[in-house]
Amino acid sequence: MPRSTTPVWYHEDVDRYERLVAALGDEIEGFRIIRKDQSALHKAIHYALVVVTFGQMRSYLDSFQTTIGKTVYVTPDWDTLDVDQRYVTLRHEAVHLRQFRRLTLPVMAVLYILVPLPMGLAYFRARLEKEAYAETIRAAAEVWGPERPRSASYRKYVIDQFMGPSYGWMWPFRRGLERWYDEILATLSEQG
């Protein structure tokens, strides 16, 4: 990414995002952020998703940030997104970066995509995304205050990620998801 050679005064929130990018660079050797629409791999994933979801999933290239290995692939509008939103999203993706490091890429790929089913009942995908969305919830509370993840709309938004087409209908059990969500909220209030 090009950087200005003259000093720039950042808003406090810009610092938070920039600090996270720098911290991840220290933590994950080889960490990088790349535009998804410029990646042949992601164009291939896009077409595969269109096929396996019978055309319902067409927004992969311009709606979702995706982490593979040490790389966070972002949508073309990433740099224009609200900086708080980018910070919250990157906190989520950071969990995936650590999962890839912990499990290695081949194991992570198999668990995430195939086990036990690629769609409808993707236990490991749901489990890995629960870990990442727990971080989304914590980051949202940090940036916007705990009322944000406590709102019914935010709760619905997160639970819809699990039950809807975004991740291939990865988990169908609403009660369990609501219980999981509320457990994460409860840990927020413990922290005050």
Q: Which residues bind Zn ion (CB under 5 A)?
A: 129, 132
* Closest separation in Å from C-beta 68 to Zn ion: 11
* Closest separation in Å from C-beta 93 to Zn ion: 7
* Residue (122 or 132) nearer to Zn ion, CB: 132
How many Å apart are CA 17 and CA 156, to the nearest integer?
Answer: 26
CB of 154 closer than 8 Å to CB of 140: yes
* Residue (14 or 69) nearer to Zn ion, CB: 69
Report how far apart the first and last C-alpha atoms of the chain are (Å, whole number). Answer: 37
* Closest separation in Å from C-beta 129 to Zn ion: 5
Residue number with the smallest Cβ distance to Zn ion? 132
How many Å apart are CA 24 and CA 50, to the nearest integer?
Answer: 32
* Residue (108 or 132) nearer to Zn ion, CB: 132
* Closest separation in Å from C-beta 11 to Zn ion: 27
CB of 110 closer than 8 Å to CB of 37: no
CB of 87 closer than 8 Å to CB of 14: no
* Residue (35 or 98) nearer to Zn ion, CB: 98
